[in-house]
Structures are given as structure tokens and as C-alpha cells.
A and B are shown apart, each in its own frame.
Chain A
């Protein structure tokens, strides 16, 4: 950058320049930019991402139940990375390497974890010359064609009063089941998955890998929180989406305080390594829907960073919940009287006589009485329907927690019988009969099933249609240069078309 040299620019050349810039659409775009200080003009002001996609750290659900085929063990399942789209080419969804995926167990009701099973993952790339997930059909977990693999360690942390007393390596270098990228790449996915089920010394079993999202609900049920209604429910919003699951089957005597006090509290957290090198908790989940439904917006982030020990902070959200008031306002269903001690029992303490530990300190975790035998026949409404082996005594994959939570919030336990629900009563994919129980992931070669779409007309296609300006319909086959040239040639009215041409072009560049 030098302090001179702006030479002569005559009339002709300036006019040509400006009009030339206009014809290519460039200055029209700058013109818009010039209307306000814009991002593109401001390299001295860093415009860094504000909306960032970091789903690997997002814990979606936790399940804990008496293993149906192994009643003296408890299976804990925790899921991360919601809305994994199987469609759209070979997608690979890794666990994050800079995260600690923790399963916590409080076995004496004091709201402090006594045991932490910590999963940490490593990614391995066989051939870093290619970006492909696999380079041919994958027959086994150690197939050389599986280019990118992950392994994990489990550390067992034993704690007393939130201080570490002992740390042991519980598992070392166990293989993760790969993302299911499609039939051609993975002709026998079930085999790959079975190879990822790994037995640990002492009778425990572990699994980590992709699975069908076992949660089933119609997300639109939350419309009611937004002032909507429940008239259009009945679609499993999560149908066709996968998650990453961590499953751990543990002998009951490993996790119980004693045979006389078999009630445990279970929750899961994600810790992420921050810039200064410390691990910070960024996600927390135990009882389903509490953070989604019971906690008001401004508390959600704080909750994600908090520990059960401090759950007194959120007590009022449970004793005086927003949801029934919203429902009353919209549907004229009378909200039960406050304070809602019945909700404190279900969500924070456990049901008395079933899964409430002695001297319990109210805190949000999934409470399971490990001495409960698995049900011969599971009922989706669990305890509400007389099936004590189900939610809220732990949570099985098939428990309809949305209906249960909604009914309980509306006073099912305090005399206000109701049968509210979202009309989605079971998962779209069958659960397995043996560990890890979760359904197999939807394969990448299946058609897309994005939200609010049918058939092949996925969101992006619709968006493309919506964004394509009416005037551009006939030019679908043209490239943008042609379109713009035509526009520029058509004179003053062409300005509008330059705009639409840009618009059309931008809509293309946005579809990654």
C-alpha cells in the first residue's frame, strides 16, 4: 500500500468501469452493502460465528433400566448428537476428541456422584490422503477399507463428597461402531455393531456407536409452549434420525450403595476442553424433559453447567411450573394447586416407596431402584399404568416419557386424571432384545426424512424452490452469468433482475 499513484481516469473509462461493475452485478451488490456498514466491508472488525453447530457436545437423553435379559445388571444408555441425518451421502458423526462423556451415579441420595464412568474418544485415520470415510465395502471393524475409526477409554472415578478418591482404567482402546453410511459400504451393519459390543472384566459390558434415536415424540407438542395447540400431533419428529449412543451394562452390586439401599440416581454430562485447557461442563441431562419443559429459557444454560448438588436453585421451576399455566391459558385445563410437591417427588426426589432413597436431597437425576425386576410385559406409561419397572423408576427405551410427563405435570398424581399426549406411542425402529438394546441406525442409503417433508421433496429442495424468484423460473438451465448478462442487457428493468440473479445464485451457494 503506497501513498501515491492514482492516475488519470477519464470520463469514458470511469463510466465504463462503473457500468461494467454494474453489469456484472458487483456494484449492485456493493451498493446494497453500502447501505449500511456490512460484514463484507469490515475486515478490521472480525465478524466471527454467532450461531455455531456443535452437536457432539449435546447430550440428548439418558436411559437406565434393569436389563431385561440379565436382571442382575443395570443398563445405562446416554445419547449425543441429535438429528444425525443418515441421508445425503456418506455422513460420519464422530464423538468429539476434546470432550469427556460422563455417566454419573449417586448411590446414597446425597445429590453428589459417587461413581463416574468417563468415556473419552480418539480418532484414527488410516489414510490421510483421502477424505473418504471408507474406501470400499467394510466387512469388519478392523477392515482396512474403514478409513476413519474411533476408539475409546473408560475411566472409573470414585468420589466422596465430590472429591476424587480413586481413578481406575475401566476399559482401554475399545472400538466404536461406525456410522452407518449405507448398504453398499456396509453390507452387514449388524455384524459391525456386534463387534463393537465389548465385555469388560467384572461382568460389565460396553458399547459406543451410532444408533437410531430411541426417543419418540412429536416435537410439535412444544408448539403449545409457543401459544399453539395440539391439533396436529402424531408424527415422530425423530423418525429417521440417528444419534451417537454410549451404553454401559453394570452388575447391580457395582453401582448400589448396598443390597439394602439399592436406589441410585443417574445422570450424564459432557465436559469440553476450553481454550485455557480446563474441562468445563457444557451439557447435563438426567430426568427427561426437565430442562426442556420445566426450566424457563433463561435457566437452561445455567442448568447445563450446574451440578445436582445445587439444584435448589431450580426448585421453584418445579414447585411453580410454567407449563400448566400455559396449558390453562390455552386449553382451559385447570392448573393443579401450587406448590407442586408431587412434581418435586417425580422429578427431584423419586416416588416414595418405589425409588426415593432415604434422606434424599432434591436434585434432578434419573432415579432407579435396582432391585426392581424387569417387567414381563412393558407398559409405555410405566408407573402411571402400574408397571413399576418403567419411568419414572428409571427409564426404558420404550417408555413414553412425553405423555407421562405431560400427564403428571397436569396433575395425574394429585387427582386430575387426564390422558394428554402427542399421539406418538412408540419408536419407529424396533429395539433390540439384547445389549445395547438401541435400534440399529437408519442407513445412509435410505431416503431423506427431514422434518416437515414428504417423499423426495426435502427441505433444501423446497427452499431452493421458494428462493428461486418467479422471474427466474424459465432460466433454470442457465448459469448465473448468462442470467445476469441477459438482465443487464434489458436496461433499467434489468437492475431488478440483476438482484434476482444474485439472489438465485446466492441461494445456490448456500446449499452446502
Chain B
């Protein structure tokens, strides 16, 4: 046999570059090139200023200390953190790239095989293989997809630039290859670029109508764009072509969004019965937990969360869900322990709010201060996200509306609504309008959020409060009663508010 004829130094470099700290930092640290610490200071400053010039009732961002000095303080911390984050990105970007030569070439690793064992070991083997065979377009596509999947399971977006390079390399070697096109679609969706995700998934499906990932991302993109009818059609089509866990989970969600809980639960159970990979089991069991929790079946939810955690004891959504279900079930001590664990790992707005509210509800000595700390971290998180050119996610907007910078929450919610009209963006916008005293505007959005039949007690609570504020007492009673009937533990503080409001309105309907 002839000696290796494809020893292309440039292509070899590309594999190395995928793990190059400098390269990663350059790409990852400043995705938009627009963020500056000054802007952070500005955002925080204007929020604080707004708070001090607010209307009669206490504004969410109000501080009794000097708004200006607090803003500077926050900005300084944000700068320090931004530096720290960049350093972190450098290090994380370097992960797994070096010293993988001990793993020998594993040609043609199927994406499916990656799911069987450890994703990281599959990636490592692929990197090694691509060093030896840099012209393997299929290998590059699989690697790109694996990076996207790794970002999903670990919440580590430093993988995205690496995914982008791997997928670009694949398409350069083999234009129009559907795995790489589907990978680009998945990457776009992960970065919340849903119109692009839709376009790429359709390109991939033009090449291969049976591509499981393209079929799945197409549903995701349509859902996130609020095009639910088309999403349902896409889900049916995917189901008839590629039945399996990726399609089942999306099929179930599309049904749930329309209020068809029975089908959603049945399909998720079916997916769970056929799932063998730990990542699949954790995801599907976690989804069943969330579904049960939203329906107020806390015992069932806890059972599913335990199952998810048996498959992957660090699976964050299950840890968070378990804590929420424990709180709803009255086991506040366990809930606080669990949520503290979640927040210690990822202090994201949603869990921070729940933990803060749990402290408020417990109200031991020091608890009010602890609660305020959590809410302050929500603010810090939001500022940081913005400082890094990231539009705050919907959850951030909701958290900020309740416990942070109300004006910023409204800006974020409006911006997101401009991009996509979903039940979630409608709810976030309605609530952000409400906390900014613009209830007349809020009402239409609150109604829209609940119009598909999607059953979420928070949506109903928000709607009820807005109905009450706009003088629709009868509707408000209905919405608030429905929220408390559906999931009385939807939020430690929100549920109390709902009950109070309901009492003021003359009790449950």
C-alpha cells in the first residue's frame, strides 16, 4: 500500500487550532464587538436612576443607597468579572485539544455512537482521527455536531466557535453535505438565531429528507419563532420519517404547547422506554418531571427527576426541577439545599429567583438579606450578559421584572418580542409591561400567552394579575383560580401573591 498521501500541514493545523487558546479567546470573548464596560455602567446607571425617579410605588431597581455609587460599584465588578470570564474562556477553550494522540484513530465515528458512551471521549477520538485524516468531511461534521451537543449538555458556549470552524471545514471539503448543514442549523438554534436555523435545516433536508437532526432543528426553529402550526406539521413529518428520541421529545413539546398534555406525556413515556443513552434518559425523564410539575403532580415529578439523576447525577435541569418540586411539596429545607447546589454551579436568573423566594418564605434570621443577595446576583448576571453583547434571555427578563431592573426587563422583553412571537415572549412582555405600570398594553400579550392552550400556572398568574389591574375582576378570578388549581406551587412568592389577590377579589371562583 502506498504511504499516506494527504499529509496536509495546513489542515492538520486546523485540528490543532480547534484547541488553540488564543484562537478561541479571540472568537469567544467578543461575539459582537459592541460590548464595553462603559455600556454596562450606563445600563446599570440608568436603571438606578430610573429607580430613584420612579412613580409612587416602589420600583424594582430601587436602592436606598446612592444609585450612582451603586452603579459604579456594579460596573467595576462587571469589568473585573469580564476579565475573569475571558480568562476562563481561554482555559475552557483549550480543553480536550492537547495530548489526545494516545487515542488511536477511530474512523467514521457515527454520531449515534457518540451518544452511547462519553461524548467527550468520542470528541477526543474524533480530534485524533481528524489529525490523521483531515480530509474526512464526515468526521468534521460529526465533530461540529458533537461540540454543539456538548455545549447543550454542559452549558459551555465556548464550544460554539469550535463547532463553527469544524462545520465550515466539512462544507469546504464537501459542499452541501447534509450532516454539516444540519450541524450549522443546530449551531444557529443553540445561538438563538432561529431564522438561520430554519433556513439551514431546510437546506439540509433538501439534500437528505431523512436527516434526523435537520428534522429536529426545523421543529425547534419553528417553535421558537412561534410558528406553531408549521411546527406541528414539521413534527408529524419528522415522526413519519425518523421516529426516535430526538423527534419524540419535540413532538411532545409541540403537543404540550397546544395544551395536549395527554399526548405529550404518552410520547415522552414512549421515548423514555426506548432510551438507553444516559443523556437521553436524563433529558426525557427530566422533561417528564417538568411536565408533571407544571400539572401540579409533585410526587410524580420527583420520581422522574430521581430517574433523570440516576442516569446523570449532575444533570442540572433535574436538580433544579427537583428543588422546585420539593418546595411545592412543602419540603422547603431540601428545596433550599438543592437550589443552593444549583446556584453554586450556575447562578442563572431562574434558579436565583427561586432560591431568593425560598429564603423569603422561610424568613429565618438573615434570610431577607440572603434573598436580596440572590436578586442582586440576578442584576449582576444581567449586566454581565449585556456587557458581553448578549441580549438577555427571556428568563432574565422575567427575573429582572420581578426582582431586578424593571426598565431593562421591558427593553429585553420588547426586543425579544420584535424577534419572535411565541407564548413565552408574549408572557414576558406582558409581565414586563405590567411591572412598568402599563397594564392596558400588557393585557393583549397576557391573553396571547395563554391562547394556544399551553398550561403554565405562571402564565395564568401573570394574566390574572394584569386582568385585575385593568379592572377585569371576573376574568382575574378565573385566571388566578386556574393558576392555583393547576400548580399551586408554581412559585414560592408568586403563589402567595396569587392567593392574596384572589382573596381581595372575593375568593376562588
Contact = CB atoms under 8 A, between A and B. Distances in A.
Interface of A: 1-11, 13-15, 17-18, 21-22, 24, 26-58, 83, 96-98, 219-220, 222-223, 225-231, 272-276, 278, 280, 282, 297-299, 301-302, 304-305, 330-332, 451-453, 457, 459-460, 462-463, 465-467, 469, 495-496, 498-500, 502-503, 506-507, 509-512
A38 B208 contact: no
B34 interface: no
B88 A495 contact: yes
B301 interface: no
Contacts of B2: 229, 231, 330-332
A54 B249 CA distance: 14
A502 B494 contact: no
A6 B375 contact: yes
Given A4-B60, A40-B346, 16 more contacts: A6-B372, A7-B368, A29-B155, A40-B155, A45-B224, A54-B276, A83-B116, A227-B133, A228-B4, A229-B1, A274-B243, A274-B247, A462-B102, A463-B118, A467-B96, A510-B120
Interface stretch (B266-274, B292-300, B328-336, B474-482): B266-274
B191 A55 contact: no
A11 B69 contact: yes
B216 interface: yes
B395 A29 contact: no
Contacts of B357: 1-2
B90 A40 contact: no
Contacts of B391: 37
Interface in B385-416: 385, 388, 390-391, 393-396, 398-399, 401-404
Contacts of A29: 88, 155, 345-346
Given A229-B1, A452-B103, A298 B207 contact: yes
30 contacts: A5-B371, A6-B379, A10-B65, A11-B69, A14-B70, A29-B346, A32-B156, A34-B381, A36-B390, A38-B151, A38-B157, A39-B151, A40-B348, A42-B395, A43-B317, A46-B249, A51-B146, A51-B213, A56-B274, A226-B139, A229-B4, A282-B243, A301-B210, A451-B125, A452-B105, A462-B121, A467-B96, A496-B87, A499-B91, A512-B278
B158 interface: yes
Contact of B77 (A18, A44, A97, A278): A18
A44 B210 CA distance: 27
Nearest to A20: B373
Nearest to B215: A301
Given A3-B60, A27-B81, A231-B1, A51 B108 contact: no
A466 B103 contact: yes
Contact of B246 (A49, A229, A304, A503): A49
Nearest to A88: B117
Given A3-B402, A231-B1, A275-B248, A17 B434 contact: no
Interface in B183-207: 186, 189-192, 207
A26 B69 contact: no
B35 to A, nearest CB: 10
A282 B345 contact: no
Contacts of A36: 28, 31, 157, 160, 191, 390
Interface in B351-380: 353, 357, 360, 368-369, 371-373, 375-377, 379-380
A301 B242 CA distance: 9
Contacts of A298: 177-178, 207-208
A282 B242 contact: yes
Residue among B85, B251, B263 with most chain A CB within 10 A: B85
- Most B C-beta atoms less than 10 A away, residue of A35, A220, A229, A512: A35
Contacts of B3: 229, 231
Contacts of B216: 48, 50
Chain B CB count within 10 A is highest, among A43, A52, A305, A500, for: A52
Q: Which of A5, A45, A50 has the most CB of B within 10 A?
A: A50
Nearest to B176: A298
A297 B82 contact: no
Most buried by B among A49, A227, A297, A498: A49
Contacts of A34: 85, 381, 384-385, 388, 390
Given A274-B240, A282-B243, A302-B209, A41 B493 contact: no
A300 to B, nearest CB: 8
A66 B343 CA distance: 64
Contacts of A273: 243, 270
Nearest to B394: A44
Contact of B210 (A9, A53, A276, A302): A302
Given A17-B377, A50-B213, A280 B139 contact: no
Interface string B49-92: 00000000110111111000110011001001111111111111
A57 B424 CA distance: 36
A278 B85 CA distance: 49
The 4 A-B residue pairs with the shortest CB-CB distance in the complex, in nearest-first order: A31-B85, A40-B155, A499-B91, A53-B277
Interface range on chain B (Cβ under 8 Å from partner):
35 or more
B42 interface: no
Given A452-B104, A512-B118, A3 B435 contact: yes
Given A17-B377, A44-B395, A463-B103, A35 B119 contact: no
B61 to A, nearest CB: 7
B208 A26 contact: no
Contact of A2 (B155, B385, B394, B494): B494
B155 A33 contact: yes
Nearest to B349: A41
A30 B401 CA distance: 20
A469 B99 CA distance: 10
B279 interface: yes
A272 B242 CA distance: 9
Contact of B277 (A26, A52, A220): A52
B106 interface: yes
A399 B106 CA distance: 24
A433 B135 CA distance: 44
A17 B373 contact: yes
B38 to A, nearest CB: 17
B458 interface: yes
B136 A51 contact: no
Contacts of B155: 29, 33, 38-41
Contact of A42 (B65, B120, B249, B393): B393
B244 A272 contact: yes
B252 A51 contact: no
B84 A466 contact: no
Nearest to A235: B104
Contacts of A37: 157, 190-192, 390-391, 393
B245 A49 contact: yes
B148 interface: yes
B308 to A, nearest CB: 13
B112 interface: yes
B112 A302 contact: no
Given A44-B394, A274-B243, A512-B118, A305 B210 contact: yes
B407 to A, nearest CB: 13
B84 A495 contact: yes
A149 B112 CA distance: 26
Contacts of B270: 98, 273, 275
Contact of A223 (B105, B145, B311): B105
Highest count of chain A CB atoms <10 Å: which of B104, B134, B191, B209: B104
A31 B84 contact: yes
A272 B243 contact: yes
Given A6-B62, A27-B347, A50 B217 contact: yes
Nearest to A452: B104
A47 B347 contact: no
